[in-house]
């Protein structure tokens, strides 16, 4: 069921145009909001088939349109490549979808204010309600731990699985000397979380400069505040989408 | 006099179109000036009825237009909802208007450079004349003090009243792990203060990095300089309004 | 010769339209470059009469056009007000022109990265060749020293003269809890210096964070590098002017 | 072969229009990406003649078009000036091309976040894969070491050669109190490196604020990751070029 006889996986079925446009918009939104630089990618699980996911071909995220969206199985083989190339790092998406049935969307960025937290021993914390999901804890994936000296790229199923193992049940994991991966139960929530991970990192840096203990959200507050975010993230989505339409 | 027999409050009377447009512009200005993110809201007391206030429906502040302005009584019940939903946090507005007869306008934001000061023990001070109003002192409202673990949202009259009590007679209060509330004797002054609270926070952070005592405005200088700001804030208002028109 | 019998000063004579347009552009440039906020003003000495200077009416600097330029004598009386109001702080311009025959243009701003250096004991230094003029030393004017508690505004000839005395023969002076004044031998050089005072302040802050001694330009290097800047500032001027035309 | 009898060097031959347009675009890209301020310049080796290089006339880099590109020999004499003036600092280009046969393109900027690292003893390191080339080490050129008090400008062959000697075989060198020079095996790679040198500097500053050891890329990781960047920099180039077209 997962592949044709030639090894090309079968499609999970047609996807509504509006869904593809939202996924493409998510990519442009994250570029517009300063989370994606000239790289970065977001994906979503296929709405009709949990063993497939949708993700742009390799392209600067500010330029992604619906026609650039490809479909992959969880081994990251394209169902219908049409001559398009996927990102080298699609394996981090495939392996997280495999490991986390609750995850419906993933964003991977080189979000600039977040990277320092993957380089030092200071854990990221939830500086305010918009970043409530960080209160669950933010693990750091150091590719050296399992793979030694590498080119840093999460370019194989094994590396993707190792990252997924570090992410565990959390919404965010940092990648040492590389970037961050953010997941959510919906596309909108993944976008919302990617934006506010970046903003919270800037705030934590500034709070650190001021000195003394930081009265961040604790885990219980984070859980409650995150539920509010998930219920109201449409307000941000509509604004952000309008800016890139 | 405050409510019809069905519990819907009566209106404080018609409001000039130009007033509604200024209130909507204030919302867009604070988004344009980087004080509001995809959320944030400002309100003004009804010009003809001190027990009513005007505030946008729940909407990204960059998008607010005059038609989005709703009228509420101080219990935060809409006079004429027309199917529109108010912000969850309108209670912080209602309770401040109830507690402070001198307050004619309120802005609540997640102003990014301000949030660190609500998380640590360093008090905000007035770094320059534009932020003179901060020299009166800037209290911090920690919702945990009275309500324990919450979702952080000021979503009830009781929480609004607790915030108003911490604000006391000051122009600005910080909300731990959340944001800031700024009040003024006019809409323009509230907008001016919200902008320069953010700028002064950035300056204080930088002065802290440089180290040593900070020769901020003292309370007497602050009082005198604030009077100049209140007399000349039309210059900033006209510029800022033009940018969002 | 300096005033008509009614006390209105006589004009220094007609000024070429291109000169007025450059002065207006200077104002818009400094807003566009992030040096001026909703306030800030620049002026130039009258090309044909050293006892007169030209300066915008009180207006947000991003909006200044040639028709907004007024002429003042060094006592800051308007030659031909035409119902326009000058800035409250024009006295800092008048008194510097009186004290410094070499100064042909002045900019006064609330340049955000510069203000911290007026609040602490760390002197500004010249971080790179573009800011070479800072190597001459940057004094700080604290209005309290001579005037005690004030509203911070340099609103009288006496306050302007006290600032001019602190500036002495330097190109830049900081105003505690207020801003900065920058002077130059030409309009272009004053604009160039105002921009790079701001940029150098940001760099110095960052160098301070990194720690250790800072290998800034010394006074001799500064003198030599400043001569290059004065000879080549047309390149920046043309670009900046194009952006605001 | 290198000069006509009048001392004007002969041209290395005609260059395709698309190459000149790419070089001009590189200049505008670096301005658009915040690496170039009102000055800064990039050059490339002549595709058909290794003893010639191509570089804009003296002009704000945001304004450079193909028609502004001049050709120079390695002594920095223009082959066909047509009344155009070269940058004073073209000598740093000429001498690096002379010393480094592998270098095909050079960018020199006053990249603001990089300058602090030329002023203090903290070495720049590679904060993430995009800046992998920094893992080779980043030397600092202090013009005082060889030339004493100067105007800082690299305005002679001797000064250019001294800089090239400090650069040695590295991709990046800092210039104390001045800026940075970045080289690459292609125009695109030099642009890519100039952008991510700036971004990595900002990240290193922030990691320093957080404190503790920084788990930067080591030399081996840097080498591997740089190879990936060189293979994929077209994605960034296409985006950046589109923004300035």
Digits of tens for pLDDT over chain C (245 positions)?
A: 444 567 799 999 999 999 999 999 999 999 999 999 999 999 999 999 999 999 999 999 999 999 999 999 999 999 999 999 999 999 999 999 999 999 999 999 999 999 999 999 999 999 999 999 999 999 999 999 999 999 999 999 999 999 999 999 999 999 999 999 999 999 999 999 999 999 999 999 999 999 989 999 999 999 999 999 999 999 999 999 999 99
Nearest residue to B135 (alpha-carbon basis) of B143, B146, B127: B127
pLDDT on residue C1: 43
Q: What is the mean pLDDT of residues B90-108?
A: 98
The radius of gyration computed from the CA coordinates of chain B, to the nearest angstrom, equals: 17
Read off the tokens for D14.
């005609």
Cβ <8 Å between D239 and A121:
no
Q: What is the mean pLDDT of residues A48-76?
A: 97
- CB of C18 within 8 Å of a chain B CB? The answer is no
Which residues 107-136 of A have a C-beta within 8 angstroms of D?
110, 112-113, 115-122
Check pLDDT > 80 for residue D2: no
| Local confidence band at B5 (pLDDT 50, 70, 90 cut-offs) | low
| ipTM computed for the complex | 0.96
Chain D CB contacts of A118 below 8 Å: 215
Cβ <8 Å between D224 and A151:
yes
pTM of the model: 0.96
Q: Please check whether residue C54 is in contact with residue C46, taking contact to mean a CB–CB distance below 8 angstroms.
A: yes
Q: Please check whether residue A112 is in contact with residue D199, taking contact to mean a CB–CB distance below 8 angstroms.
A: yes
Cβ <8 Å between D210 and A117:
yes
Catalytic residues of A: 89
The number of beta carbons lying within 10 Å of the beta carbon of residue C213 is 9
Measured in angstroms, the CA of A86 and the nearest CA of chain B are apart by 32
Q: Please check whether residue D44 is in contact with residue D104, taking contact to mean a CB–CB distance below 8 angstroms.
A: yes
| β-bridge pairing C41-45 and D140-141 | unpaired
| β-bridge pairing D69-73 and D105-109 | unpaired
Task: For C31, name the nearest residue in chain B, comparing CA atoms only.
Answer: B239
Measured in angstroms, the CA of A231 and the nearest CA of chain D are apart by 33
pLDDT on residue B4: 53
CA angle A145, A151, A155 (to 5 degrees): 85
Between the CA of residue A218 and those of A226, C104, D139, D235, what are the distances in Å? 12, 59, 44, 41
- CB of C153 within 8 Å of a chain B CB? The answer is yes
Least confident window among C15-19, D202-206, D232-236: D232-236
Residues 6+ apart with CB under 8 A from B218: B135, C149
Which residues 193-232 of B have a C-beta within 8 angstroms of C?
199, 202-203, 206-207, 209-218, 220-221, 224-225, 227-228, 232
In percent, how much of chain A has pLDDT > 70? 98
| Local confidence band at B238 (pLDDT 50, 70, 90 cut-offs) | very high
Chain C CB contacts of D177 below 8 Å: 126-129, 215-217, 221
Least confident window among A166-175, B3-12, D13-22: B3-12
Select from C32, C113, C129 the residue whose CB has the most chain D CBs within 10 Å, as the one to mutate to test that interface.
Answer: C129
Q: What is the mean pLDDT of residues D200-225?
A: 97
- Rounded CA-CA distance C15/C24 in Å is 13
| Local confidence band at A154 (pLDDT 50, 70, 90 cut-offs) | very high
What's the full length of chain D, in residues?
Answer: 245
pLDDT on residue B229: 95
Of A38, A113, A115, the CB nearest to D240: A38
Mean pLDDT of chain D: 96
The radius of gyration computed from the CA coordinates of chain A, to the nearest angstrom, equals: 17
Check pLDDT > 50 for residue A2: no
Catalytic residues of C: 89
pLDDT on residue D4: 53
Q: Please check whether residue A185 is in contact with residue A192, taking contact to mean a CB–CB distance below 8 angstroms.
A: no
Cβ <8 Å between C220 and D58:
no
Chain C CB contacts of B188 below 8 Å: none
| Local confidence band at A7 (pLDDT 50, 70, 90 cut-offs) | confident
pLDDT on residue C138: 98
Buried b (16+ CB within 10 A) or exposed e, B184-219: beebbbbbbbbbbbbbbbbbbbbbbbbeeebbbbee
Measured in angstroms, the CA of C210 and the nearest CA of chain B are apart by 11
Chain D CB contacts of A150 below 8 Å: 221, 224
Between the CA of residue D52 and those of C41, D66, D99, what are the distances in Å? 48, 17, 13
Measured in angstroms, the CA of B4 and the nearest CA of chain A are apart by 31
pLDDT on residue A5: 61
Check pLDDT > 90 for residue B198: yes
Select from A32, A34, A116 the residue whose CB has the most chain D CBs within 10 Å, as the one to mutate to test that interface.
Answer: A116
pLDDT on residue C5: 61
Cβ <8 Å between B221 and C176:
no
Task: For B219, name the nearest residue in chain C, comparing CA atoms only.
Answer: C149
Select from A193, A194, A205, A221 the residue whose CB has the most chain B CBs within 10 Å, as the one to mutate to test that interface.
Answer: A221
Helix/strand/coil (H/E/C) assignment for every residue in chain C: CCCCCCCCCCCCCCCCHHHHHHHHHHHHHHHHCCCCCCCCEEEEECCCCCCEEEEEECCCHHHCCHHHEEEEECCCCECCCCCCCECCCHHHHHHHHHHCCCCCEEEEECCCCCHHHHCCCCCCCCCCHHHHHHHHCCCEECCHHHHCCCCCCCCCHHHHHHHHHHHCCCCEEEECCCEEEEEECCHHHHHHHHHHHHHHHHHHHHHHHHCCCCCCCCHHHHHHHHHHHHHHHHHHHHHHHHHCC
pLDDT on residue A4: 53
Chain B neighbours, 3+ Cβ pairs < 8 A: A, C
pLDDT on residue B7: 78
pLDDT on residue A1: 43
- CB of B152 within 8 Å of a chain C CB? The answer is no
Chain C CB contacts of B126 below 8 Å: 177
- Rounded CA-CA distance C83/C61 in Å is 19
Task: For C125, name the nearest residue in chain D, comparing CA atoms only.
Answer: D177
C61: exposed, middle or buried (Cβ count in 10 Å: 0-12, 13-18, 19+) = buried
Task: For A237, name the nearest residue in chain B, comparing CA atoms only.
Answer: B38
Of D202, D228, D235, the CB nearest to A112: D202
Cβ <8 Å between C239 and D142:
no
- DSSP bridge pairs for B56: B69
Mean pLDDT of chain A: 96
Nearest residue to D198 (alpha-carbon basis) of D97, D107, D83, D101: D107
- CB of D55 within 8 Å of a chain A CB? The answer is no
Of A63, A150, A176, the CB nearest to D215: A176
- DSSP bridge pairs for C181: C108, C173
Q: What is the mean pLDDT of residues D64-91?
A: 96
Cβ <8 Å between C121 and B212:
yes
Cβ <8 Å between C225 and D117:
no
Q: DSSP of D14-74, one letter per residue?
A: ---HHHHHHHHHHHHHHHHTTS--S--EEEEE-TT-TTEEEEEBSS-GGG--GGGEEEEET
């Amino acid at each position: 069921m997962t592949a044709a006889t030639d090894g090309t996986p079968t499609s999970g079925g047609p996807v509504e145009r509006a869904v593809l446009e939202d996924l493409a918009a998510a990519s442009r939104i994250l570029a517009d909001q300063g989370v994606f630089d000239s790289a970065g990618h977001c994906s979503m699980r296929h709405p009709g088939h949990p063993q497939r996911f949708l993700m742009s071909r390799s392209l600067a995220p500010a330029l992604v349109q619906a026609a650039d969206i490809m479909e992959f199985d969880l081994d990251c083989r394209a169902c219908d490549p049409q001559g398009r190339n996927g990102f080298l790092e699609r394996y981090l998406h495939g392996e997280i979808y495999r490991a986390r049935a609750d995850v419906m969307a993933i964003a991977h960025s080189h979000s600039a204010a977040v990277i320092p937290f993957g380089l030092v021993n200071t854990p990221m914390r939830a500086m305010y309600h918009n970043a409530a999901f960080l209160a669950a804890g933010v693990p750091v994936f150091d590719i050296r731990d399992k793979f030694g000296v590498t080119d840093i790229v999460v370019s194989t199923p094994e590396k993707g699985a190792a990252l997924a193992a570090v992410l565990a049940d959390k919404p965010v994991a940092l990648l040492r000397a590389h970037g961050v991966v953010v997941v959510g139960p919906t596309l909108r929530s993944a976008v919302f979380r990617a934006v506010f991970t970046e903003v919270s990192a800037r705030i934590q840096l500034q709070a650190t400069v001021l000195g003394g203990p930081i009265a961040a959200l604790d885990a219980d507050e984070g859980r409650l505040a995150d539920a509010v975010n998930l219920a109201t993230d449409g307000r941000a989505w509509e604004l952000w989408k309008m800016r890139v339409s």
